[in-house]
């Protein structure tokens, strides 16, 4: 089912949760709504499900307007953040619920319902748990029950609200892959809400980055990560070092005192001469000697060698700004750095944004 | 104390001298509590039955089978049979509205529900006299149309309903608020109608608290004295509920009969407490089972 969100605005009291949001999702796509808490992503998901009504704007599902269509008529599968399993029902009863409440004329026979429940529990690998109650399951198992329950009514659209939020890192990773495979098998349109950029980049076909009720950028994981449209996107997707500087050719790198607050930022190519530069830790390199005059001089403060890469925290000499650098183990060994040494920081890649005075 | 054989959990409690008071203070506290309870609860309770059976079992049964006594029992049961279901219905509706929706005047509604507990029952009764009494606001109109509310069954029922309004609602509001709306929302996204959602999801989740509220409500409805006393008119065999009948008998120095009827009310209280204890165990049991889930849930909230 294709989805069209058309200039949707939603307020809770004076607080604008969604500000004129537009979005198009193609049939069969898996899209992630990514943003910090309070950015409006869950509200948008609930509007799509019909659990909230937009103040302005329209929703089209499969090409027809559904803004005022009731939840029960939308044929949407919704997986809640805390699963919302029916605690007084067994796993099998939970999964069967959507089928048993169908009007008698549409309802499958009890035998057929049982069969369908068995199929779904096999799909989510929980056949053995059919007779258990939700409280007897682990978080990851509950998550899969919730998914099976949502899939039972054969929804055309699957909406997942922070589906892996409450799980530990390892289970999360497994379930993520599993969801991706499931999606590829079922060809169902899916929208996933998350605040975890890694999750969004790994699972989704496209990522919608949201911030304070606005859509900041829509694109494939590569697009949003490699070509962020705004400083917010750049900062939200992964660690980043921020340098404030002036737009003198190749001389914007030395860290200058931070600019005053309250200024707008826009992509390069517009008005003013002030710029802000973002460099990811792994896009920075260190040298023992100054290679060009624009390099920042810094002191090595901490070296963290645990993990696949070495993380180094530096302090810039002239501004006391902290800089984070990530090196490969080989590069680190080659440099043979020690804490307290003076090095020069060299950016291999960076994102530059101009600052607009408001 | 130590020589007693105690179950393992109690054993632990006693032995844990690091976290408990000294034996002297412990015994003093327990002793005081027991003495207090004996004086103020157990002795009066025993006295009711002792007085009732003072002239033997025959006199006891006779005073219960007395026509007026039977009428008061019938009336009390009838009043409870009307008031309790109505308040259960209202309690569920009010708790639902308060827990699941945001609306203007929500706080006022919560306060209003508590009002009957804050107001003296006598005043609750007087309110109805003021409204429906002969000199009251609607009194003349009711008299013209030959509708009797005061000093009749409708007045007693109204006063009882008023006094027992809070019991079910107060029991359900915190529970429904803590349960949130997610399960109900899940049900409607799965295609359930409002009624199906209520029957299959909401009701099973609140059933034990609802039963608990109904038990308390029933105990109060049958035992209410003050409000009913004001509106009943004390007509023997007609508008006397059991508590009122007890008072009349007692004032007539008919102690045995008074205590016999009182013993029925006492029995009701004892049965209510027993059922309440069972229901309480049931209401607490599922929350213990559900604990791992709530842990996971709170763990995820940042």
pLDDT in tens, B122-133: 998 998 888 888
Q: Among A94, A221, A75, which Cα is nearest to A158's?
A: A75
Q: What is the Cα Rg of chain B in Å?
A: 24
Q: Among A50, A5, A13, A11, which Cα is nearest to A31's?
A: A5
What tokens does B236 get? Answer: 């023997």
pLDDT at position B2 is 42
Per-residue pLDDT of A167-183, as tens digits, reads: 788 888 888 888 888 88
What is the band of A164 on the pLDDT scale with cuts at 50, 70, 90?
A: confident
Question: Above 80 in pLDDT, residue A277?
Answer: no
In this prediction, what percent of chain A has a pLDDT beyond 90? 50
Please write down the long-range contacts of B97-106, taking CB distance under 8 Å and 24 or more positions apart: B98/B173, B98/B176, B98/B177, B99/B172, B99/B173, B99/B176, B99/B177, B99/B179, B100/B176, B100/B181, B100/B184
pLDDT at position B14 is 53
Per-residue pLDDT of B66-121, as tens digits, reads: 899 999 999 999 999 999 999 999 999 999 999 888 888 889 999 999 999 999 99
Handedness of CA B198, B202, B208, B209 (dihedral sign): negative
pLDDT at position A357 is 53
Q: Measure B95 CA to nearest chain A CA, in Å.
A: 20
Contact B186 A78 (CB under 8 A): yes
- Report the residue of chain A nearest B291, measured CA to CA: A135
Q: What is the pTM of this model?
A: 0.76
Per-residue pLDDT of A329-352, as tens digits, reads: 999 999 888 889 999 888 877 777
What is the band of A245 on the pLDDT scale with cuts at 50, 70, 90?
A: low
pLDDT at position A158 is 93
What is the band of B296 on the pLDDT scale with cuts at 50, 70, 90?
A: very low
Tell me the DSSP string of A290-334.
--STTPEEEEEEEEE--SSEEEEEEEETTT--EEEEEEEHHHHHH
Per-residue pLDDT of A117-160, as tens digits, reads: 999 999 888 999 999 999 999 988 999 999 999 999 989 899 99
What tokens does B15 get? Answer: 């032995």
CA angle A110, A112, A116 (to 5 degrees): 115
pLDDT at position A323 is 87
Per-residue pLDDT of A43-84, as tens digits, reads: 999 999 999 999 999 999 988 999 989 888 888 999 998 999
Mutate to test the interface with A, among B186, B294, B297, B300 (most CBs of A within 10 A): B186
Per-residue pLDDT of B239-288, as tens digits, reads: 899 999 999 999 999 988 999 999 998 888 888 888 878 877 776 544 43
pLDDT at position B285 is 47
Cα–Cα distances (Å) from A342 to A301, A311, B83, in that order, read: 10, 16, 84
Q: Measure A152 CA to nearest chain B CA, in Å.
A: 9
- Report the residue of chain A nearest B181, measured CA to CA: A84
Size (chain B), residues: 302
pLDDT at position B148 is 85
Cα–Cα distance measured from residue B241 to residue B218, given in angstroms and rounded to the nearest whole number: 14
pLDDT at position B201 is 94
- Per 3-state DSSP, what percentage of chain A is helix, strand, and coil (rounded to 5)? 30, 35, 40
Neighbours of A177 (CB within 10 A): 11
Cα–Cα distances (Å) from B28 to B5, B37, B41, in that order, read: 21, 14, 19
Is the Cβ of B267 closer than 8 Å to some Cβ of chain A? Answer: no
- Look at the block and give the residue holding tokens 């007084």: A88
pLDDT at position B272 is 81
Give the DSSP letter of residue B100. H
B190 → closest Cβ in A37, A51, A153: A153
Per-residue pLDDT of B51-63, as tens digits, reads: 899 888 999 999 8
pLDDT at position A163 is 86
- Report the residue of chain B nearest A73, measured CA to CA: B191
Cα–Cα distance measured from residue A284 to residue A277, given in angstroms and rounded to the nearest whole number: 13
Torsion of the alpha carbons at B221, B226, B230 and B231, rounded to the nearest 10 = 0
Q: What are phi and psi of A344, to 5 degrees?
A: -115, 135
Three-class SS of A144-208:
HHHHHHHHHCCCCEEEEECCCCCCCHHHHHHHHHHHHHHHHHHCCEEEEEECCHHHHHHHCCEEE
Per-residue pLDDT of B148-171, as tens digits, reads: 888 889 999 999 999 999 999 999
Neighbours of B219 (CB within 10 A): 22
CA angle A56, A62, A65 (to 5 degrees): 35
pLDDT at position B270 is 86
In this prediction, what percent of chain B has a pLDDT beyond 90? 46
Size (chain A), residues: 358
> Are A237 and A279 a contacting pair, CB within 8 Å?
no
Please give the residue that has the higher pLDDT: either A220 or A354: A220
Three-class SS of B105-172:
CHHHHHHHHHHHHHCCHHHHHHHHHHHHCCCCCCHHHHHHCCCCCCCCHHHHHHHHHHHHCHHHHHHH
Question: Above 70 in pLDDT, residue B297?
Answer: no
Question: Above 90 in pLDDT, residue A85?
Answer: yes
> Are B212 and B275 a contacting pair, CB within 8 Å?
no
Contact B289 A133 (CB under 8 A): yes
- Look at the block and give the residue holding tokens 């009732």: B52
**What does the mean pLDDT of chain A come to?**
85
pLDDT at position B82 is 96
Cα–Cα distance measured from residue A160 to residue A158, given in angstroms and rounded to the nearest whole number: 7
Specify the DSSP element, H or E, that contains A244.
strand A241-246
Question: Above 50 in pLDDT, residue B65?
Answer: yes
Pairing of strands A30-34, A206-211: parallel
pLDDT at position A355 is 66
Contact B300 A135 (CB under 8 A): no
A134 contacts in chain B (CB < 8 Å): 293
pLDDT at position A274 is 66
Question: Above 90 in pLDDT, residue B16?
Answer: no
Q: Measure A85 CA to nearest chain B CA, in Å.
A: 6
Per-residue pLDDT of B206-217, as tens digits, reads: 988 898 899 899
A85 contacts in chain B (CB < 8 Å): 183, 186
CA angle B291, B297, B302 (to 5 degrees): 140
Q: Among A88, A85, A111, which Cα is nearest to A99's?
A: A111
Cα–Cα distances (Å) from A273 to A16, A31, A180, A355, B74, in that order, read: 32, 36, 44, 8, 92
Contact B204 A88 (CB under 8 A): yes
Pairing of strands A56-61, A64-65: antiparallel
Per-residue pLDDT of A86-97, as tens digits, reads: 999 999 999 999
A101 contacts in chain B (CB < 8 Å): 187, 190-193, 196, 200
What is the band of B15 on the pLDDT scale with cuts at 50, 70, 90?
A: low
Please give the residue that has the higher pLDDT: either A249 or A185: A185
Contact B190 A150 (CB under 8 A): yes
Cα–Cα distance measured from residue B62 to residue A349, given in angstroms and rounded to the nearest whole number: 101
> Are A32 and A203 a contacting pair, CB within 8 Å?
yes
Pairing of strands A3-12, A56-61: antiparallel
B196 → closest Cβ in A86, A101, A133: A101
What tokens does A259 get? Answer: 């600019």
Contact A101 B187 (CB under 8 A): yes
Q: Among B144, B97, B186, B36, which Cα is nearest to A81's?
A: B186
Is the Cβ of B292 closer than 8 Å to some Cβ of chain A? Answer: yes
Mutate to test the interface with B, among A50, A70, A72, A133 (most CBs of B within 10 A): A72
Per-residue pLDDT of B136-153, as tens digits, reads: 888 888 888 888 888 889
Cα–Cα distance measured from residue A44 to residue B21, given in angstroms and rounded to the nearest whole number: 57
């Amino acid at each position: 089912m294709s989805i069209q969100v058309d200039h949707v605005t939603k307020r809770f009291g004076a607080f604008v949760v969604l500000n004129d949001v537009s979005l198009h999702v193609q049939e069969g796509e898996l899209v992630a709504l990514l943003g910090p808490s309070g950015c409006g992503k869950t509200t948008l998901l609930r509007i799509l499900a019909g659990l909230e009504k937009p103040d302005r704007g329209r929703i089209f599902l499969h090409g027809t307007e559904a803004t005022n269509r009731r939840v029960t008529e939308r044929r949407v599968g919704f997986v809640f953040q805390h699963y919302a399993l029916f605690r007084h029902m067994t796993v099998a009863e939970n999964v069967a619920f959507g089928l048993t409440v169908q009007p008698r004329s549409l309802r499958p026979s009890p035998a057929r319902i049982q069969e369908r429940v068995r199929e779904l529990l096999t799909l989510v690998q929980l056949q053995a748990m059919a007779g258990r109650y939700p409280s007897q399951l682990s978080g990851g198992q509950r998550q899969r029950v919730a998914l099976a329950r949502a899939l039972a009514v054969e929804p055309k659209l699957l909406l997942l609200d922070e589906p892996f939020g409450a799980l530990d890192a390892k289970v999360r990773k497994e379930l993520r892959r599993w969801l991706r495979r499931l999606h590829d098998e079922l060809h169902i349109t899916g929208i996933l809400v998350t605040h975890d950029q890694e999750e969004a980049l790994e699972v989704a076909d496209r990522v919608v980055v949201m911030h304070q009720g606005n859509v900041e950028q829509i694109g494939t994981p590569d697009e949003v990560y490699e070509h962020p449209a705004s400083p917010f996107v750049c900062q939200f997707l992964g660690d980043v070092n921020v340098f404030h500087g002036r737009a003198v050719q190749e001389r914007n790198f030395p860290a200058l005192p931070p600019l005053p607050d309250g200024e707008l930022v826009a992509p390069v190519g517009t008005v003013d001469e002030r710029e802000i530069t973002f460099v990811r830790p792994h896009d920075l390199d260190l040298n023992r000697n100054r290679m060009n005059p624009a390099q920042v001089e810094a002191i090595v403060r901490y070296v963290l060698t645990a993990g696949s890469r070495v993380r180094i925290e530096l302090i810039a000499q002239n501004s006391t700004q902290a800089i984070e650098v990530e090196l490969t183990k080989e590069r680190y060994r080659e440099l043979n750095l020690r804490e307290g040494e003076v090095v020069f920081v060299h950016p291999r890649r960076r994102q530059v944004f101009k600052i607009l005075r408001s | 104390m130590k020589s007693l054989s105690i179950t393992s959990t109690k054993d632990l409690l006693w032995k844990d001298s690091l976290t408990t008071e000294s034996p002297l203070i412990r015994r003093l506290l327990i002793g005081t509590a027991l003495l207090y309870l004996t004086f103020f609860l157990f002795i009066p309770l025993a006295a009711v039955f002792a007085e009732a059976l003072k002239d033997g079992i025959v006199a006891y049964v006779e005073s219960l089978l007395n026509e007026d006594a039977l009428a008061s029992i019938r009336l009390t049961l009838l009043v409870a049979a009307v008031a309790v279901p109505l308040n259960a219905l209202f309690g569920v509706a009010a708790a639902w509205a308060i827990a699941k929706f945001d609306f203007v005047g929500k706080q006022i509604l919560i306060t209003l529900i508590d009002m009957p507990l804050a107001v003296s029952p006598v005043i609750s009764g007087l309110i109805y006299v003021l409204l429906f009494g002969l000199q009251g606001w609607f009194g003349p109109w009711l008299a013209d149309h030959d509708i009797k509310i005061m000093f009749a069954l409708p007045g007693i029922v109204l006063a009882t309903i008023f006094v027992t309004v809070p019991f079910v609602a107060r029991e359900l509001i915190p529970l429904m608020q803590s349960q949130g709306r997610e399960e109900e929302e899940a049900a409607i996204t799965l295609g359930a109608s409002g009624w199906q959602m209520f029957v299959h999801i909401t009701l099973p989740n609140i059933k034990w608290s609802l039963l608990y509220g109904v038990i308390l409500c029933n105990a109060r409805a049958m035992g209410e004295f003050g409000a009913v006393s004001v509106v009943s008119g004390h007509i023997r065999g007609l508008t006397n509920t059991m508590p009122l009948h007890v008072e009349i008998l007692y004032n007539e120095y008919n102690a045995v009969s008074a205590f016999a009827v009182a013993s029925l009310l006492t029995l009701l209280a004892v049965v209510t407490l027993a059922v309440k204890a069972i229901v309480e165990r049931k209401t607490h049991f599922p929350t213990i089972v559900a604990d791992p889930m709530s842990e996971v849930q709170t763990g995820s909230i940042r």
